[in-house]
Structure 1
Amino acid sequence: MTVIKSNKSTDLFLDHVVSHTDFSALRAKGLEFLKEKGLPALKEEEYKFTAISKKLEQSISRFSTAENIPLTQEQIKPHIFEGFNGDLVVFNNGVFDPSVSSVSKKGYTFETLSENQPELLGKIAKTEKDPFVALNNVFFEDGIYIKVGKNQKIEQPILFLYFNQANKGEVITPRLLIEIEDGAEVKFLENTISLDEESYFSNPVTEIKVGQNAHVHYCRFQNENRKSISVNNFEVDIHKDATFTSVVISMAGDLVRNNLSLNLLDTGCEGNMYGLYLLNGKTHVDNHTNVDHTKPHCQSNELYKGVLADSSRGIFNGKIFVRQDAQKTNAFQQNNNILLSEDAIVNTKPQLEIWADDVKCSHGCTTGQLDEEALFYLQARGIGKENAKGLLLFAFAGEVLEYIAVDSFKDYCLHLVQERLGSNF
């Protein structure tokens, strides 16, 4: 078993690695990186507002791989939203569980990474990109490889359900590699579920290659327990004339860090990133996004919105890079936030770096309170104050939800968002 201990005097101690013989090259690379760099401290720019190492020291006495837990169909059913008709992939503490999954493989290949170790593994989400990619390299025992065939159009969505239930000190490390061949189309949905209220650390890594003229939509819903710590690395390579759209909705957890990177590698690419975070209590959500324009005639759109109450904290750091060869780039980025409490905090930092001279790029951010005039207008027409507040907040949040491509999943998310805005704010 792999054991990594966290210590206040240093970022990371690596005790030993035995028994893991698969993925040895990737694992060795992760260990080497962690021995040299350790986990990030607050002095590091990328984590200056998120004290992840300190949080892990407080909550996790040591790192060890979480054991599988028995799952039944009765536990699964409540989390399959009404109207869902597609393939179901269940992860049990980070490991694929075929006993409660339903995978048709129509139009795509589905294998565990131990059955087929593709050359792409670790090539998209590079070890040196983030310490938590390296940590996943060390700990993951197996993962899933999905390859959608050339010109295949998968009509029904593929749903990933991540069920987490671990003892204090255990780490959950899902690994997912998806390859979309030229001309293919597919929609992915993801939902993470905490089965109890105990603390755990989840550290998933997802790598996606989008082939030429392929179109992919991926929606993630995060609503874990109030003690969970989660660092998500999600990296996408997008090729010629392809489109990738990401929607991320974050509602609960102790500390959530989302690293999302889109690499536009050829002409005619389009990358879309939409996010919504509705936070209360002491929830801390940190969204770090990156769009890298490397070739001409590409576009990216990014819109993240936050509603924060109580003592919650939100961080948005969005980066757009336009390389020298990326002429005729069209890039848009916006982050908007509403604070409902004097104790709620937002740190927002949109960034734009341009080396080309024939581009259309814009970025910006806003942070404020609810519009008092709009609130008064609704109350003057007989709507109670709390209902009026809920309507305004839902109108603000609803713009992001409209980008969810699967109607049944959109309805599921709408219901939970309305419930949160109506009852908790």
Structure 2
Amino acid sequence: MKKFAGQSIIDKLSERFEASRPQLTSNTAIAEIREKALNHLVQNGLPHAKAEEYKFTNLTKALEKHINFSMEEESTEVNQGDVEKYRIEGLEAYYITFINGKFSEQFSDTIEENSISFSTLSNAIASNSALAEKHFDKLSKCTEDAFVAMNAVLANEGAVIDIKANAVIEKPVFIQFINTRSSDVQAKNLIRVGENAQVTFIEKVDTLAAEPGFSNVVNEIEVAAGANAKFYKIENDSPTSYHISNIHVTQAKDSTFTVNTIALNGAMVRNNLDIKLNAEGCEANMNGLYLLAGKTHVDNHTTVDHTMPNALSNELYKGIMDDQSKGVFNGKIFVRKDAQKTNAFQSNKNILLTDDATVNTKPQLEIWADDVKCSHGCTTGQLDKDALFYLMARGIKKDRAMAMLLHAFASDVIENLEIEAIQAYVEAIITSRLEK
């Protein structure tokens, strides 16, 4: 029998699936997807070191070395102080909290707004929810990525959220994952934003355990006609944590979707962002900031697919790499034949603070239409020595001067965050990191 990359992991996942089959296959339609996903893993394995999409991020090797994929349960206590520590000071939000992948009613808010329908994924599957059945793996597609397949096999928890048409949700919905164990957590969020609705989501994953942990989170988001949805992904986990995020979005006519990805810490982080603009008048905005130190490794892979005319996408990712950290950016823009009058812009800029820090960047633009305005590009360099000298000549110490320049470099991404509490949270981390 042929052995694939990650074979030991796949063997354990297969054992867990069989042991939990009655629970995982209670919904027939979803059970079929899980079986298909498992077969995909068994037949293809996890990404190997030469796989094109993962060649700069050998996540499989790291997981084989550090993560225990067994079914062992750990009963670490979590208190209110632990939960509050990983929230954002001054942020008023509806908190939906999961501990080790399981919904915690104790640490979650009761959402009383009629315009928000919330259920856990486990309850939605058990009750044969139409929303869960309609969206489970419909956007992420388990046969296109091994870690999406892994999630589809085992994810039985997460948030299922339906925002009613014309609703304006004033407070953000904060989906919080807190992990205390050294094994893996698989979670899937299914989100539908109704016509002309306005809402903001925030997702944050944190690990309490000192030992390595792995979280695999998939978001499948449908944005209906005229809706305006924002999604914040904040990654500031422990230095021993491994995380992979898949956000898959489909947009209808005249909708707007904005995603802000802030990566600050973790052993190895992979962010896959896939947005499909499936109608006229769509707008997609993607902002990213990765501020890395130590040996942190962050890989951002983005795909924007323009399928219809008169749509707009803006993408700005900036990275600051210190010590022996490593950044990766791969941004793809597709403009299909019918997508005339498309405006698509992509920019990736990076600063390396040491000789040991690295970045691999690859912007890609494929156009099949002829009446478009598109641009893409990347830059990598060091701090401007003349600007640094100018500040130091005016009595500013070198560390402070460097911090000022790096703040200025990151400012346009931070300004796009809009929510003051999140801006302050990111600013405080940058300040403490740069002015150490």
TM-score between both structures, scaled by the size of structure 1: 0.94
Match of 2:95 in 1: 88
Residue in structure 1 matching 2:118, options 110, 120, 141? 110
Change (3 A) 1:8 1:32: closer
Checking the alignment, whether the CA contact within 8 Å between 2:284 and 2:312 is kept in structure 1 is yes
Match of 1:18 in 2: 19
Match of 1:122 in 2: 137
Cα distance in 2 for residues equivalent to 1:108 and 1:413: 28
Unaligned runs of 5+ in 1: none
Residue in structure 2 matching 1:254, options 261, 267, 273? 267
Match of 1:290 in 2: 303
The alpha-carbon deviation at position 198 of structure 1 amounts to 1.1
Match of 2:167 in 1: 152
The alpha-carbon deviation at position 244 of structure 1 amounts to 0.4
Residue in structure 2 matching 1:235, options 248, 254, 257? 248
In the alignment, is residue 225 of structure 1 matched against residue 238 of structure 2?
A: yes
Residues paired across the two proteins, number: 417
Cα distance in 1 for residues equivalent to 2:257 and 2:121: 24
Letter in 1 for 2:117: T
Cα distance in 1 for residues equivalent to 2:139 and 2:225: 16
Letter in 2 for 1:30: A
Cα distance in 2 for residues equivalent to 1:83 and 1:231: 28
Matches of residues 352-363 of structure 1 in structure 2 within 5 Å?
352-363=365-376
Unaligned runs of 5+ in 2: none
User: 233-242 or 410-419, which moves further after superposition?
Assistant: 410-419
Letter in 1 for 2:374: C
In the alignment, is residue 49 of structure 1 matched against residue 51 of structure 2?
A: no
User: 94-103 or 15-24, which moves further after superposition?
Assistant: 15-24
Change (3 A) 1:105 1:350: farther
Change (3 A) 1:68 1:189: farther
Residue in structure 1 matching 2:383, options 370, 395, 404? 370
Residue in structure 2 matching 1:264, options 260, 272, 277? 277
Letter in 2 for 1:318: G
Checking the alignment, whether the CA contact within 8 Å between 1:270 and 1:300 is kept in structure 2 is yes
Match of 1:38 in 2: 45
Letter in 2 for 1:232: S
Checking the alignment, whether the CA contact within 8 Å between 2:9 and 2:64 is kept in structure 1 is no
Query: In structure 1, the residue corresponding to 2:41 is in which secondary structure?
Result: helix
Checking the alignment, whether the CA contact within 8 Å between 2:336 and 2:369 is kept in structure 1 is yes
Change (3 A) 1:231 1:401: same
Cα distance in 1 for residues equivalent to 2:122 and 2:304: 31
Residue in structure 1 matching 2:419, options 406, 409, 418? 406
Query: In structure 1, the residue corresponding to 2:333 is in which secondary structure?
Result: strand
Cα distance in 2 for residues equivalent to 1:218 and 1:244: 8
The alpha-carbon deviation at position 93 of structure 1 amounts to 1.5
Superposition RMSD in Å:
1.8
Cα distance in 1 for residues equivalent to 2:275 and 2:105: 30
Give a deviation string over 1:11-43, Cα, whole Å, max 9, x none: 843543232333422211210111121100122
Quick check: which one's helix share is greater? 2
